[in-house]
Structure 1
Amino acid sequence: MRSLQPKQCWLPCAFFLWVGAADAEDSAELAKKALNPVAAMYSLPVQYNWDQKMGITGEGMHSVTNIQPVLPFELNDEWNLISRTILPVIDQHGQAPDGLADKTGTGDVTQSFFFSPKHPTHSGWILGAGPALLIPTGSDRLLSSRQWGLGPTGVALKQSNGWTRGILANHIWSLSGEQPNAQKVNQTFLQPFLSYTTHTYTTFGVNTESTYNWQTREWSVPVNLTVTQLLRLGGHPLTIQLGPRYWADSPEDGAHGWGFRAAITFLFPR
């Protein structure tokens, strides 16, 4: 008698193969969106940075935990508005002999809005541009510019064959007059980035987060090398990131040598 087992197994086997392919496709899309600053996806990155050899003594340390919620809004059939907020929580010690610079608290918020077309250009570039706002939310005068600031921001990136490359930039000027003992804000931020994502959704990346202070004419240039892994915990997607950072250039009392970065990003696909 001919066995019916192959026919009986066909439907459930096909179902599980289809589900596996769908999960792989979803994960591949999530991995790409996680690298796109203007992706139409809710996310909550929490990023920790540690740096050393700072301050007058050269023995100071500085850690910043950036809480960076990303909120997309659909404007119409062609455009999205992407809100990106950076709230830094700062801990610094040993930057002055008297210990008066030892502070822990919140820094100033940088709030950016990107108007971004829903579809890439014909050549595959994803674009976004809008205003960036500096909000003086610092909990201490040493952790804050104590000034409102405003300027333009923009991003351009391309994703293909596992590669993501692009640049994010902004420039912020002071809106209010100079506060007593506070330096006017006039700075440019440049973040070119390059990464490659493997078939296991592991991403190897390099970027710089360079800031040029037009008042002091000084650069701050940390170079970040990162490894990021897309995971699912209890069915919920997230990424975990680790890597060293090296200060290629810095003001005299700024960070020097090596530091490191660790981050976790909670993803909320629609």
Structure 2
Amino acid sequence: MKKLVLSFVLLLFVVNINTLKAQNEENTGHSAEKLAKQLANPVASLISVPLQNNFDFNLGAFNGFRYNVNLQPVIPISINEKWNLISRTILPFISQNDVTAIGTNQTGLGDTTQSIFFSPKEVKNGMVWGTGVVLTIPTATNNLGSKKWGAGPNLLILKLQGQWTYGALANHIWSYAGSGTNDISNTFFQPFLTYANKSGASFTIASENTQSWDSDTFSGFAGVYFSKVLKFGKQMMQLGGGPKIYYGNNPLNPEWGIRANIILLFPK
């Protein structure tokens, strides 16, 4: 399984590099640069459908493996001349083995996370912000979720400065219903820094951190990613990925992982 995963990731990067070399920068450079910058902004006016593939190794006491692909459609909606509403859905599909015990495996859906941001269209001094609500919907199967409904506030602040985009996303979710035995009170914090060049290539450093106040556990990881906006026929997309290193006191934390993204783009 691990050899298959690593072969897939290697193939992705080979395709990415070869396509990058063959790309005609004169014809697509400007639009690719704009799209790369928009992708670094979670509340940009860009419809996108990311397929985020996560391969995580050495989970927990049994050194398990987990593959998690997140379907994450992002849809901006113009409310009026001053405001946008951005819908961001994360629906995970999970396949894991040797996580709960040696020789076990689970495959199915995880819980859905639905974020709704309200963001002003006008950007002043490069500052962008959005605020709204985040919801947890118990769509998980095969005991891969919390069996809880949750909700809470969501906040994003970022700065656009030339080729750089940097900022942070934060939210907190409390459970309020559901059949699960454990309540949810989780704080999530995601700082990020992206440099996008004129060819549409981008380099990102980001971390994702979750503090569970009910179980007193902290889990997080830091990742370094390379991505490139490409055009296949008439379809614009971004391919990319990179390594992740985990930290925290969560006993189910992996030791390390790899993220590989395929993002379909639908610019207006």
Q: TM-score range by the shorter chain?
A: 0.7 to 0.9
C-alpha distance in structure 2 between counterparts of 1:242 and 1:213, whole Å = 27
Say if 2:29 and 2:198, in contact at 8 Å, map to a contact too: no
C-alpha distance in structure 1 between counterparts of 2:197 and 2:46, whole Å = 21
Say if 2:32 and 2:199, in contact at 8 Å, map to a contact too: no
Is residue 150 from structure 1 mapped to residue 151 from structure 2 by the alignment?
yes
C-alpha distance in structure 1 between counterparts of 2:196 and 2:48, whole Å = 19
Per-residue CA distance 1:72-96 (angstroms, 9 max, x = gap):
1110000000000000000110023
Match of 2:31 in 1: 26
Match of 2:210 in 1: 211
Is residue 106 from structure 1 mapped to residue 106 from structure 2 by the alignment?
no
Moved more, 215-224 or 108-117: 215-224
Which residue identity is paired with 1:60? G
C-alpha distance in structure 2 between counterparts of 1:153 and 1:97, whole Å = 35
Question: How far is the alpha carbon of 1:207 from its aligned partner?
Answer: 0.4
Structure 1 unaligned segments of length 5 or more: list them.
Answer: 1-19
C-alpha distance in structure 1 between counterparts of 2:227 and 2:66, whole Å = 23
Match of 1:53 in 2: 58
Match of 2:7 in 1: none
Partner-residue secondary structure (3-state), 2:80? coil
C-alpha distance in structure 1 between counterparts of 2:197 and 2:75, whole Å = 27
Identify which of 131, 137, 143 aligns with 1:135. 137
Counterparts in 2 of 1:75 and 1:22: CA distance versus 1, 3 Å: farther
The Cα RMSD (Å) is 1.6
Which residue identity is paired with 1:64? N
Question: How far is the alpha carbon of 1:55 from its aligned partner?
Answer: 3.0
Partner-residue secondary structure (3-state), 1:209? strand
Which residue identity is paired with 2:112? V
C-alpha distance in structure 2 between counterparts of 1:170 and 1:26, whole Å = 32
Partner-residue secondary structure (3-state), 1:86? strand
Say if 1:221 and 1:250, in contact at 8 Å, map to a contact too: no
C-alpha distance in structure 1 between counterparts of 2:101 and 2:147, whole Å = 24
Question: How far is the alpha carbon of 1:199 from its aligned partner?
Answer: 2.4
Match of 1:165 in 2: 166
Per-residue CA distance 1:137-188 (angstroms, 9 max, x = gap):
00122x01101000011111112221110101111000116x35x3111101
TM-score, length-normalised on structure 1? 0.86
Map 1:223-242 → 2, pairs under 5 A: 223-242=222-241
Question: How far is the alpha carbon of 1:50 from its aligned partner?
Answer: 1.1
TM-score, length-normalised on structure 2? 0.86
C-alpha distance in structure 1 between counterparts of 2:177 and 2:206, whole Å = 32
Moved more, 195-204 or 83-92: 195-204
Q: Using CA pairs under 8 Å that are at least 6 residues apart, name the structure with larger relative contact order, 1 or 2.
A: 2
Partner-residue secondary structure (3-state), 1:173? strand
% identity of equivalent residues: 39
C-alpha distance in structure 2 between counterparts of 1:144 and 1:229, whole Å = 33
Match of 1:259 in 2: 257
Partner-residue secondary structure (3-state), 1:90? strand
C-alpha distance in structure 2 between counterparts of 1:244 and 1:250, whole Å = 20
Is residue 116 from structure 1 mapped to residue 114 from structure 2 by the alignment?
no
- Structure showing greater Rg: 1
Partner-residue secondary structure (3-state), 2:119? strand
Partner-residue secondary structure (3-state), 1:155? strand
Which residue identity is paired with 1:129? T
C-alpha distance in structure 2 between counterparts of 1:261 and 1:21, whole Å = 30
Is residue 62 from structure 1 mapped to residue 66 from structure 2 by the alignment?
yes
